[in-house]
Amino acid sequence: MSILKKLASQTAVYGLSTMLGRFLNYALVPLYLSKFTPAEYGVVSVMFTYASFLAIFFALGLETAFFHFSKQTQQPAKVFATATYTLVFTGFAAILIARWFGPHIMDWMGYPQYPELIEYLVYILSADAVTALGFAWLRQQEKPWTFAWVRLSNIGVNIAANLFLLVIAPAFGDCVINHKTEILGWAFNPTQYTSNFWQSMAHWGLDQAQPHRMIANIFISNLLASAITLPLLSRTFKQLKEGFDVSLIKRMLRYSLPLIIVGLAGMINETLDRLLLKNLLPANIADAETGMYNAFYKLSLVLTLFVQAFRFAAEPFFFGKSGDPDAKETYAYVMRMFVYATGGIYLLTMVFMPWIAPLLMQNPEYYTNARGLSIIPVLLGANVCLGLYYNLSIWFKLSGQTKMGGLIAAMGAIVTLVGNYLFIPEYGFVASAYTTLAAYATLVVLGYLFGQKHYPIPYQVPLLLLTLSVAIVPVVCLPIYFPELPHAINFVLPLIYGAMIYLIETLLKKQHAHR
């Protein structure tokens, strides 16, 4: 199983770069909060919420289609070139629309005072759609380290541009114009910058401190980061010499367009509950409930990042194995290993939660909140289900039945909408947590049932359920039914869980040896 060791090592590399990238991006939040009023930062938040949905349309589902048709045609370079030319064309069309109708679009969004933001956003999304294919090529070619350094370079440029445009340039302008002698703690002699050029630069710097420009600069920083990624992936885009295949793109789009529904449904499951909390609760508690929910959602960060890293590594792996005679047995084995890992992360997160919550939240108002603490195991369970669904969803991607995948995803989105609308008014963010779990559990059940009908894989369901039960039930139920037990007893549970996995794998190896 050396190939599975490679999958594990690639998952680790993707996970490291993803975790570091998330951390660096989170570091920008305090900067934004210090520079913007809530209303100004609200503009940024709303625009990037729109961006998360628009990105699905810009990508056209061609990232997954690339993996599928690379394996099917055995011409990955041709498939990559055809998909990239398509995204360049659609991105250019979107840019023209944004330039012609930008003010009208921003007026419809409710921000007529920021007509240029839609153009910046479309530039970013167009570039990101193309670079996503570049990253897909690196994943397909099993180059996780190249993937990692290019991704981190993108994030580094974004952070540097934010710091320059939001902090350094305004401070420089203020020092020159007002003859101050210190900038960012360094001694500074503004009298040496008296030429017209430096005076113009100083006025430009002061202009960056205006609220309107500050908001635009966040988008410009993201645009610079997206633009710098293209030359970093220049070797990847050498495949464009393969040209554009009309018949191939027709087949690819028939496969990929239903994946837009999958993506939209996933975004609804992931983000819509925040908007619904804001709109369905009374105004005097809506912000507090939304903030509390967001805070506790972040406590499942480690499990979330593992699931995302696994998806980066597993998708090309699954497609690459699809032609092997033992492919289905391999998928079942990967699922078992994945369940071991996610069950262990769930268990360890719960065991160390009394220390994790204060560390990440800092404010006692959050980590002592009983309602908030009650949803942690629920949200962790939702992330486990999401990871299981990523494994199960391979059947409709491999078999080409992406319309069925769209139908399953739509059912999960319906659960999200109905559950939140019905229960948020009475239960607040607790309803959102349980609804998220219900939506992802629905995806797991439907994904398994339809998958076993159309593309049966010999998953060891009783064993998987037993593993998850041992990981989840004791650590959740002991504090509820035996509150007098010391928390230290929970440290025994990971040992029991590890011993169980060792016993299971030993028995399975013996069974396999006797065959």
Lowest mean pLDDT among 64-68, 242-246, 395-399: 395-399
Question: Cα dihedral sign for 219, 221, 227, 229?
Answer: negative
Distance CA 426, CA 234 (A): 54
* 134-156 mean pLDDT: 85
Q: What is the mean pLDDT of residues 3-32?
A: 66
pLDDT at 26: 61
pLDDT for 181 equals 60
85 Cα distance to chain centroid: 25
Distance CA 324, CA 317 (A): 12
What would the pLDDT profile of 239-270 be if each residue is shown by its tens digit?
888 888 999 999 999 988 888 888 888 888 87
Q: What is the DSSP string of 261-285?
A: HHHHHHHHHHHHHHHHHHHHS-HHH
CA dist 332 and 318 (Å) reads 11
- Please give the pLDDT value at position 385: 93
The answer on pLDDT for 124 being more than 70 is yes
**Packing angle between helix 2-26 and helix 28-35, nearest 10 degrees?**
20
Residue-wise pLDDT tens digits, 266-282: 888 877 787 788 778 88
* Lookup result for tokens 């290993």: 337
Closest C-alpha among 376, 326, 370, 330 to residue 350? 376
pTM, two decimals, is 0.76
Give 239's DSSP letter. G
Q: In one letter, which amino acid is 393?
A: S
Tell me the two tokens of residue 84.
Answer: 């990239």
Say what percent of the chain tops pLDDT 90.
26
Provide the pLDDT for residue 161: 86
